[in-house]
Structure 1
Amino acid sequence: MGGIADLVPVIAATWPPARTQRVGPFTVPSGAGGGQRVSAARLTDPAATDATEAEIDAAIAALADFGQPPLFQVLDHQDALDARLAARGLILRDTTQAMVMPCADLAAAPPPVTCFATWPPLAIQTEIWAKGGIGPARLAVMERVTGPRMSFFGRTNDKPAGTAFVAIHQGCAMLHALEIAPAHRRKGLAATMMRAAADWAQTEGAVTMAILVTGENQPALGLYASLGFHAVGHYHYRSQRS
């Protein structure tokens, strides 16, 4: 993985919007309530850096046609586009780090009865996700994935404790929606689940493991770094003020 631009197709395939349309240089998605990642317009060519004011206007109009407010994903090298959006009063939100590592360096079979690969997810997993703010609209995102996909159910002390979703695109496995129940955090379960996910991904032909984590989530950034993940770039969003 050379940088964040290389991960854009992986993000799109492993966490897909309900539908998209091309509007000039932009891909404009219908997120169907699935959050910013599936609702933000982005430059279709991840190597591109800018768009005209008229092209931005057209993208905003297309978002409105989907019933969505202005929202753009801006990659770390798209400074020119970022400046245009900032000049329109769109504010910066949620800088997100992309981190990767080889599956082979992470993969390990989990200890007995600690982590299970299962599809579709179990009802208890949807409950854990719901308590973490991951509701039906985001579960629908998982259902839309067409490539290899799997959920992982974690347990500690014989109790349901965690859940995560992983999907693969072009040899890269991306983990989404890792949620550990508050009472079971800081017990090593997240690391166990990450290793189990990489183990499964390897069997499906993946070479690279990738995650996305907001810059404000320092505990997660520390965990991933301790496992051997390294940052390859970042993106942020520009949106209207709340």
Structure 2
Amino acid sequence: MPGAYPLDVRGLEELAARTWRGVEEERYGDWLLRAGGGFSGRANSALVVGDAPEPLADAVPAVARWYADRGLPPRAQLPGPPGEADTAFAAAGWTRAEDVLVLTAPLTDWPAPDVPVELSPAPDAAWLAGYRYRGAALPPAARAVLTRADDPLFASVRPASSPALAAAVARGAVEDGWLVITAVTVDGEFRRRGLARAVMAALATAGRERGAHSCLLQVSEDNEPALALYARLGFTEHHRYHYRSAPV
């Protein structure tokens, strides 16, 4: 049933994929091939859930060709415990990297933000500058990926002294009763002031107004400060996924 809680691994991954999409997408059996100009792992990897349309020994090179045809390094996202598909990619020499935790929580009343949070349907220049993806400025393809969802929301905290800058940002999108939060970033100068919690709380309020009952987010397993914050907000681990990249 759409919006049911909880969902299984495949259901939750497919839901999340609808909120963070490649600029180009193509179904390959149950798998989803995604290309987004190289910005972000999820928008530039094959989501490997369900079955491929042909034997795995043929499916793995077919995925590699799809990405090579677009000038992108072939990459696969493999959720849940390793299975036959993961074994097939590994046998073809695809290397494993980056374990990511998928966390979920009921959208109960989180602490209200104690600073003003601006919500917008599109990211402005300050928001884009405030989102430091893997610690770096965003590439040109980022905006197309960030806005490619149904009715996304972009939250930001602007310092009173510099309103054209963003001290903290986050992105939210509601899909089938789930608020998916991504891009939570706090500028180094403004950390330890509760700003990550503030932008998330503002998105949670907006999400509940849009009918969301639950929240999902993804975080690298080595991001200890973020994991501590999410635990305080009631998030627990639903499952994990990892990436595999084709040999160069």
Q: Considering the TM-score relative to the shorter chain, is it more than 0.5?
A: yes
* C-alpha distance 196-80 of structure 1, shift in aligned 2 (>3 A): same
Deviations 1:125-159 (A, max 9, x none): 122125842513222112211x2310001246755
**Alignment check: 8 A CA contact 1:60 1:70 kept:** yes
Greater shift in the superposed pair: 78-87 or 14-23: 78-87
Give the SS at the match of 1:195.
Answer: helix
Q: Distance in 2 between matches of 1:110 and 1:5?
A: 33
For 2:121, the equivalent position in structure 1 comes to: 119
* C-alpha distance 186-82 of structure 1, shift in aligned 2 (>3 A): same
Give the SS at the match of 2:242.
Answer: strand
**Alignment check: 8 A CA contact 2:219 2:227 kept:** yes
* C-alpha distance 139-37 of structure 1, shift in aligned 2 (>3 A): same
Give the SS at the match of 2:232.
Answer: helix
Superposed counterparts of 1:1-242, under 5 Å: 1-45=6-50, 52-106=56-110, 108-113=111-116, 115-130=117-132, 132-133=135-136, 135=138, 136-145=140-149, 147-155=150-158, 160-240=166-246
More helix by share: 1
**What is the percent sequence identity of the aligned residues?**
28
Q: CA deviation at 1:101?
A: 0.8
**Alignment check: 8 A CA contact 2:49 2:78 kept:** no
Q: Distance in 1 between matches of 2:56 and 2:30?
A: 9
Q: CA deviation at 1:100?
A: 0.9
Q: Distance in 1 between matches of 2:129 and 2:108?
A: 31
Deviations 1:106-136 (A, max 9, x none): 3x542253x1212222322122125842513
Q: Distance in 2 between matches of 1:102 and 1:51?
A: 39
**Alignment check: 8 A CA contact 1:4 1:98 kept:** no
Letter in 1 for 2:71: G
Q: Distance in 1 between matches of 2:137 and 2:55?
A: 33
Letter in 1 for 2:78: V
Give the SS at the match of 2:237.
Answer: strand
**Alignment check: 8 A CA contact 1:23 1:58 kept:** no
Q: Structure 2 stretches of 5 or more lacking a match?
A: 1-5
Give the SS at the match of 1:110.
Answer: coil
Taking only aligned residues, the RMSD between alpha carbons, in angstroms, comes to 2.3
Q: Distance in 2 between matches of 1:130 and 1:52?
A: 36
**Alignment check: 8 A CA contact 2:170 2:183 kept:** yes
Q: Structure 1 stretches of 5 or more lacking a match?
A: none
* C-alpha distance 51-26 of structure 1, shift in aligned 2 (>3 A): farther
**Alignment check: 8 A CA contact 1:23 1:62 kept:** no
Count of equivalent residues? 237
Q: CA deviation at 1:23?
A: 2.9
Letter in 2 for 1:14: T
* C-alpha distance 13-151 of structure 1, shift in aligned 2 (>3 A): same
Give the SS at the match of 2:81.
Answer: coil
Greater shift in the superposed pair: 176-185 or 130-139: 130-139
